[in-house]
Amino acid sequence: MPSAKRRERHVIAANPAAVRGLLERLERGPALEGLSVDARDCTLLVLAEVLNNVVEHGYAGAPGWIGLMPLPGRPGLGWRIVDRASRAATPAAMARDMPVQAAEGGFGLPLIRALTDRLALRRKRGMNILTLEVRAEGGAAEAGVVCGAG
Amino acid sequence: MDLQIEGRGEVTVIRPAEGRLDALAAVAFKDRMKAAVEAAPGRVVLDLSGVGFIDSSGLGAVVAARRFLRAGQALDLAGLTGPVARVFRLTRMDMLFAIHAEVADAIGEAA
């Protein structure tokens, strides 16, 4: 088992191609290999939404970087995402409900909330630091969706 | 994001050529869906059996494709994989579409 100091960390450019590349590497790599298929899929979806949110709304087209590292204790499910975007999701945006009618956007943050147990955003020394834990199981049970702990 | 387009009688079946319908692919997907839907003579079935990952941008692009339909024209979905079905269920956008297990079901052919 890798030690905490050797745990994988990733830093990518803040653009959609880099986000896709990172997700594909995570899918193939060891970080998610202990999870069930459902838990892995939910984790990849949550990370996609978080990273794309930083690209689209945080940096909003400006160049930048995003760091991603796993949290100890919840292998594959706990993550920290760090960026230096000048904008971050507001508490109101974080609490937004899923759109109720045909919508072409506004799903990202509600999806993240539906699939996570813990979600905390803080700003420190000019950086946005988001910590999250993907729901181990029973995620959005009302929608018949179970992530599963593996 | 290229699309494979196949006419089956009055039904047009559209298949994304890539396995990811994500933020990187969404804009091109929507543009090509617009052209494909406008050229389709009637009902359109979007075959998502080859798509293993969709995010909210990809979902938004699928929902947006409904805007390109003419009066009386329908857009159905078929072949949703597990991760794709999950996103439609969680967002309740599965309520917007007729969803078929396979393309053959959507066009009334024996499998």
Sequence-ordered list of residues with C-beta below 8 angstroms from that of B31, at least 6 positions apart, any chain: none
Q: B30-68 pLDDT, tens per residue?
A: 999 999 999 999 999 999 999 999 999 999 999 999 999
pLDDT at B99: 97
Q: Which of A23, A36, A40, A45 would you mutate first to test chain B, the one with the most B CBs within 10 A?
A: A45
When CB atoms are compared, the residue of A41, A49, A104 closest to B63 is A104
Architecture label for domain A9-142: 2-Layer Sandwich (3.30)
Q: Per-residue pLDDT for A38 more than 90?
A: yes
Q: Could you tell me the pTM of the whole model?
A: 0.91
Residue of higher predicted confidence among B3 and A99: B3
When CB atoms are compared, the residue of B53, B82, B93 closest to A44 is B53
Spatial contact of B105 and B74, defined as CB atoms under 8 Å apart: no
Q: Per-residue pLDDT for B103 more than 90?
A: yes
Task: Provide the CATH number for the domain around residue B84.
Answer: 3.30.750.24
Q: A108-142 pLDDT, tens per residue?
A: 999 999 999 999 999 999 999 999 999 976 444 44
- pLDDT band of A7, cuts 50, 70, 90: low
The dihedral built from the CA positions of residue B82, B83, B89 and B93, taken in this order, carries a sign that is negative
Q: Per-residue pLDDT for B111 more than 70?
A: no
Give the domain range for residue B77: 3-107
Q: Phi/psi class of residue A100: alpha, beta or left (left: φ > 0; alpha: ψ in -120 to 50)?
A: alpha
| Total tally of structural domains belonging to chain B | 1
C-alpha B68/C-alpha B38 separation (Å) is: 7
Q: Per-residue pLDDT for A51 more than 80?
A: yes
Q: Which of A12, A25, A104, A134 would you mutate first to test chain B, the one with the most B CBs within 10 A?
A: A104
pLDDT at A56: 94
Q: Per-residue pLDDT for A57 more than 80?
A: yes
Percent of chain A exceeding pLDDT 70 equals: 86
What residue of B is the nearest CA neighbor of A147? B86
C-alpha B40/C-alpha A39 separation (Å) is: 38
